[in-house]
Structure 1
Amino acid sequence: MSANEISLRPAQETDAWVLSAIHIAAIKALPATFYTRKELLAWRNHRDKPDGSNILKSMKTETFWVAIQGDVVIGFASFIVDELIGLYVHPKYQGKGIGRALVQHFCNEATNQGINKVITTASLYAEGFYLRLGFTAIQRAPHYLRSGIVVPVTKMSKVLTIAPK
């Protein structure tokens, strides 16, 4: 897939259930290598069917952008100023540059605001992806899922280049 086959746009409230479905599908596709099946189930809020209510709540404080192909939402990123909160691409579309495009958009938005460093909390599955995009691992840390289950994650950062004006 080339970059011109996908486009990015701000998410709308009507996207919430599709974003929930992508979140569930992406986690369900993960093997139980870094996290147990119980932890993976908790990560998707014990859901097998989409429920956009949590995403709708998050949309009040986070900025959401979606990747679309044609008129189909295939991935999304959410962030608050300098922190990438979530990044999910439907498994059918992974490995095609969509996650990279969403992260680059987040970094561009931060740069446009004069921010010179961004952070994210990466699952152990995503750590290599972020390293390839120029992020640096800061430390392993516990992450508390809504259900109270704690999983290890990697806090990461990336220094951005701000073009002189």
Structure 2
Amino acid sequence: MSANEISLRPAQETDAWVLSAIHIAAIKALPATFYTQKELLAWRNYRDKPDGSNILKSMKVETCKVAIKGDAVIGFASFIVDELIGLYVHPKYQGKGIGRALVQNFCDEATDRGIDKVITTASLYAEGFYLRLGFTTIQKAPHYLSKGIVVPVTKMSKILATTPR
């Protein structure tokens, strides 16, 4: 499968539970190399089963795009204007260009709005991915999870082409 076999569309409220399931699955698939199991558990909000309620709340303030293969949602990206807030692809579909397509869509939408620079906060796992997409490191920073757990992340930015598509 390649990114050409997927389509992107705005998320719908009915997607919230599957987005929660993707979020949980993506984090559960990570090895405890950069973060401890306790930190990874906090990152997925102490959930083993999907709960779309938090995602529904986020969808009210964030733009959320989903990647679809056939009729299945396989990944998503959420953003507010110039900041990519979250990017998750189901582990079964990682490494196939889905994340790249979602980030490119975010950058294209920002360019169309006249924005010339976007930012994101990358987990230590995702830092290399964003570097390969042309993002640069701004600084390492703390990220606050629930129950007082703090993990290191990398603030990153990317300069965009100044002409809209």
Q: Which TM bucket (shorter chain)?
A: over 0.9
Matches of 1:25 and 1:75, distance apart in 2: 11
The residue number in structure 2 matching 1:23 is 23
Separation of aligned partners in 2, 1:67 and 1:92: 13
Match of 2:90 in 1: 90
Distance in 1 between residues matched to 2:117 and 2:22, nearest whole Å? 28
CA shift for structure 1 position 164: 6.8
Aligned to 1:11: 11
Q: CA offset at residue 148 of structure 1? A: 2.4
Q: Could you tell me how far 1:126 is from its partner in structure 2?
A: 0.1
Q: CA deviation at 1:163?
A: 1.8
Read off the aligned partner of 2:35 and give its amino acid letter.
Y
CA–CA distance in structure 2, aligned partners of residues 72 and 3 of structure 1: 14
In structure 1, list runs of 5 or more residues that go unmatched.
none
Q: Give the distance between the partners of 2:26 and 2:86, measured in 1 at CA.
A: 12
Aligned to 2:40, what secondary structure does the other structure show? helix
Is 1:50 aligned to 2:50, yes or no?
Answer: yes
Shift of 1:135: 0.1
Percent sequence identity is: 87
* Residue pairs, 1:112-127, within 5 angstroms: 112-127=112-127
**TM-score of the superposition, structure 1-length normalised?**
0.98
Q: Which residue of 2 aligns with 1:99?
A: 99
Task: Say whether the 8 Å CA contact 2:111–2:164 is kept in structure 1.
Answer: no
TM-score (norm 2): 0.98
Equivalent in the alignment of 2:69: 69
Q: Please name the residue that 2:110 is paired with.
A: 110
Matched pairs, number: 165
Instruction: Give the root-mean-square deviation of aligned CA atoms.
Output: 1.1
> Runs in 1 of length 4+ with deviation above 3 angstroms?
none
